[in-house]
Amino acid sequence: MLRLLAPLVASQVLRRGLKHQNELGYKLEFKNLPLEWINGYALADMTTTWRNYGLPISGLNYFTLGSVKQGISTRFTPGERLYQAWLGGYIFRFDKPTSWKPKDYMKLAEADQKKWLWYYGAPAPRMDFGESHKVANLAMSGINGKLFAWTGITQSDVGVHSRSLHNRVVMDGMAYIMNRLTPNLRLQGKQFIPRHEYQSYEELAISGYVAIMDIRPDTKAVLYVCMSEPDEHDDKIMKQLITRHLELRKL
């Protein structure tokens, strides 16, 4: 019964997210993604998650993950190039004038990753950012920003509780939202549920890039991409994904 209600709940969540998007005045678009990524995106309102984490902001998360291979996203299959990889961005507004350092912006992803791991049943979700450094200045659709490289330690979302009823309902809802936003996807929630436990919630070293974009004094975007233990070629691809395949568009 709960799974039958997932589309109804997801439609309400999407409607609220699109309303919030209009209030922010900008959206994130994914342009011609490589075939190894799902060529579409999910939209999630992160306001409650961020405020519960002590961040005085409201906003949205746009994200995608590895393409479906043999009935499951490659995000959930160890050994696949995009195992545990993310691509997306946040657009958010401060509750009041605030001056943040780069490390403060990383807390958005920290809260996000821990909430995602909670959905997948990790008993003590972990996301610890290590070193970060500025790589370049950016300009996107007339918006200026800075690109940072970073490393960190997290854990896999593949574990003994990943297939819980609660998570299957949540993923059914996510698939519904992605299909509504990009109708030709025809995704199913089960494609985001790991089939095997492997090493349950194994610790992972990940690295990637974030672009901090100054939309307005009170409104920012943080674009992100990461992979688990990327090589030099992957590192180059990640830079291109942020700079060539993501775009901020004014509504």
Q: What is the average per-residue pLDDT within 125-151? A: 95
Among 5-14, 55-64, 99-108, the range scoring the smallest mean pLDDT is: 5-14
- Look at residue 5 in the predicted model and tell me its pLDDT: 76
Local confidence band at 174 (pLDDT 50, 70, 90 cut-offs): very high
Render pLDDT for 198-237 as a digit per residue (tens, 0 to 9).
Answer: 789 999 999 999 999 999 999 999 999 999 989 999 999 9
pLDDT greater than 70 at residue 61: yes
Q: What ranges in the chain are assigned the alpha helix state H?
A: 2-24, 47-52, 102-119, 165-181, 232-244
The β-bridge partners of 209 are 149, 225
- Look at residue 97 in the predicted model and tell me its pLDDT: 86
Query: What's the pTM?
Result: 0.96
- Crossing angle of helices 2-24 and 165-181, in 10° steps, is 50
Question: CB pairs under 8 A, 24+ apart, for 164-172?
Answer: 164/121, 165/2, 165/3, 166/119, 167/119, 167/120, 167/121, 167/193, 168/3, 168/193, 169/2, 169/3, 169/5, 169/6, 170/6, 170/119, 172/3, 172/6, 172/7, 172/10
- Look at residue 196 in the predicted model and tell me its pLDDT: 77
pLDDT greater than 70 at residue 2: no
At 104, list the tokens.
């403060």
At 171, list the tokens.
């993923």
DSSP state of 79: T
Render pLDDT for 11-40 as a digit per residue (tens, 0 to 9).
Answer: 999 999 999 999 999 999 999 999 999 999
For the chain, the structural domain boundaries read 2-250
CA–centroid distance for 100 within its chain = 21
Mean pLDDT of the chain: 95
Length in residues, the chain: 251
Q: What is the average per-residue pLDDT within 147-173? A: 95
- Look at residue 1 in the predicted model and tell me its pLDDT: 58
pLDDT greater than 90 at residue 133: yes
The β-bridge partners of 143 are 140
